[in-house]
Structure 1
Amino acid sequence: MTAYDYWSITQGALATISLSLISIVLGVPLGLGLALIRWAKVPVLGRIVYSYVSIVRSCPTVTLTLLVFFALPQLGLSLDPVPAAIAALTISTSAFNCEIWRSAFVEFPRDQYDAALSFAMPRFTRIRRIVLPQVYRASLPGLVNEMTLQIKSTPAVAVIGIVEITRAALRVGSNTYEPLPPFIFALVLYGLIVFALIRLKRMVEKRLRTGGLA
């Protein structure tokens, strides 16, 4: 492998990081919003969210990517490959994040919420000051696990022409007729990305334990 080959795979890694980061930044709060709707048991919206989460979680990321890229133009909305990839990844991760958040909401001691209600604390304040800090702590391990899975799901967007780590390694292997070195390098890059994410999680958990993010 030449220096250019390594740089090509590194560019694929940058694409993977960018797509994953954007979809995570969008998908985590979206999942939280969906979980709040289910936790609050909003009659109609709750059923819609339940159906949305059930369908999306059962749909492979590659199928969802093709659906977004090819089906939306039939509805009059055409997306370039990058926005389509971001949309598909965000839709996918938001559904899984919803279940992670919802699980934490289910475990939240409801009597604390009711006690704040007895003191006439506004609903938004109750959620922001009492519910979310505890739910966030309980959800953090699951959210980080979903983020690592999201990073490893990005090869699915290669079907619409996005060159991420795996596709870049495949191209280099095809050109050099030596597929093993580029895929080993791709594996190292994946490992470094996931390692950085896990380290960040540990830093956040440490600050939570010391009250730095309370």
Structure 2
Amino acid sequence: MGREEFLFLLTGLKWTVALSAVAFVCGCVAGLMVALLRTSGVAIVERLTAGYIAVFQGTPLLMQLFVVYYGLALIGIQMDAWAAVSVGLTLHASAFLGEIWRGSIEAVPRGQTEAAKALGLGYVSRMKDVVLPQAIRISLPATIGFLVQLIKGTSLASIVGFTELTRAGNIISNQIFQPLTVFGIVGALYFLMCCPLTIYGAHLERRFLTASR
């Protein structure tokens, strides 16, 4: 395990971070839309978004990536591995974040919404200025926890040929025949990414629990 191999692992790490960032940011935008539709009060819209969430929560992420990468090609939509994995992880993240934020929106005390209505605030102002700031605060620990899962989930991108950290480790392992050393380093790199986030999420959870007493 030399310098060149380690630099190749760092290149894979760079793509893991980039893929996680794209999927999380796009998933946040789409997840917010899902959460708002899920709490819209319109029965048909709520049922449709509930179905969307159920599909992505009830099927393996690996299968979802396969469907996006190979399934869309069958209907004439060609995407490279980077685009397909980004879309697949974004859809996956939007469903989970949408449900997390739906629960957070509903956890905001009803009196807050009723007070906003009494002040004559419209739906957009009510959500933007009253409900969402409190819901985001409530959801932060769970959101950070999901980000940790998403970072680890990017390892499945290797199955469609995208060279992120796990695939880079596999390539090097096949070249130098030292799988324990290579994947020990790969695991350490994942740990260095995820552990600080896990600690920060636990800190926020304790902080908000103390503040609510």
For normalisation by structure 1, the TM-score amounts to 0.90
Cα deviation for residue 16 of structure 1 reads: 0.7
Secondary structure in 1 aligned to 2:77? Answer: coil
Per the alignment, residue 211 of structure 1 pairs with none
Per the alignment, residue 32 of structure 2 pairs with 32
Q: Deviations over 1:15-64 (max 9, x none)?
A: 11110110000101211211111112223221111111101111111111
Secondary structure in 1 aligned to 2:14? Answer: helix
Per the alignment, residue 58 of structure 2 pairs with 58
Secondary structure in 2 aligned to 1:40? Answer: coil
Per the alignment, residue 80 of structure 1 pairs with 80
Per the alignment, residue 21 of structure 1 pairs with 21
Cα deviation for residue 195 of structure 1 reads: 3.3
Q: Distance in 2 between matches of 1:56 and 1:166?
A: 23
Q: Is 1:3 the equivalent of 2:16?
A: no
Per the alignment, residue 157 of structure 1 pairs with 157
Cα deviation for residue 118 of structure 1 reads: 1.2
Q: Deviations over 1:147-190 (max 9, x none)?
A: 00000001111111101111111111111111111111111111
For normalisation by structure 2, the TM-score amounts to 0.91
Q: Distance in 2 between matches of 1:87 and 1:42?
A: 28
Per the alignment, residue 180 of structure 1 pairs with 180
Paired letter, 1:165: L
Secondary structure in 1 aligned to 2:150? Answer: helix
Percent pairwise identity = 29
Across the aligned residues of Structure 1 and Structure 2, the Cα RMSD in angstroms comes to 2.2
Q: Distance in 2 between matches of 1:89 and 1:98?
A: 14
- Structure 2: give runs of 5+ residues left out of the alignment: 209-213
Pair 128,24 (structure 1): closer, same or farther in 2 beyond 3 Å: same
Cα deviation for residue 99 of structure 1 reads: 1.2
Pick which of 158-167 and 139-148 moved more: 158-167
